[in-house]
Amino acid sequence: MKITDLYTTILNRKENPTPTSYTARLFDAGLDEICKKVGEEAIEVIIAAKGQGKQRLVEEISDLTYHVMVLMAQNEVKPDDILGELNKRHK
């Protein structure tokens, strides 16, 4: 799966919510809940990095990436916006 594929799936859940979709429930809960999840996952990444091993770190970074992408979709920030900013900083 590519990051853009994940983002497209997240947008689809936002635009076509279903009751069983965790992503749709996050959007329904709103920005405060999405931000809370990003914060929780960021802390879990730090804890994993400090001694829980590579696999656990990969799992937590994956969770954080997903939740950041939900936050991006909530605020209409596209992956290309992020890549554009990173490219500007690289120069």
pLDDT classification of 12: cutoffs 50, 70, 90? very high
Report how many domains make up the chain.
1
26 exposure class (CB count in 10 Å sphere: 0-12, 13-18, 19+) = buried
Alpha carbons 35 and 60: distance in angstroms, whole number:
16
Residue 49: per-residue pLDDT: 98
67 pLDDT higher than 80: yes
91 pLDDT higher than 80: no
2 pLDDT higher than 80: yes
Percent of the chain with pLDDT over 90: 96
3-state secondary structure of 53: coil
Domain containing residue 80? 3-90
Residue 33: per-residue pLDDT: 98
The 10s digit of each residue's pLDDT in 68-85 is: 999 999 999 999 999 999
In this structure, what CATH number is given to the domain that contains residue 86? 1.10.287.1080
Alpha carbons 2 and 44: distance in angstroms, whole number:
23
The 10s digit of each residue's pLDDT in 49-63 is: 999 999 999 999 999
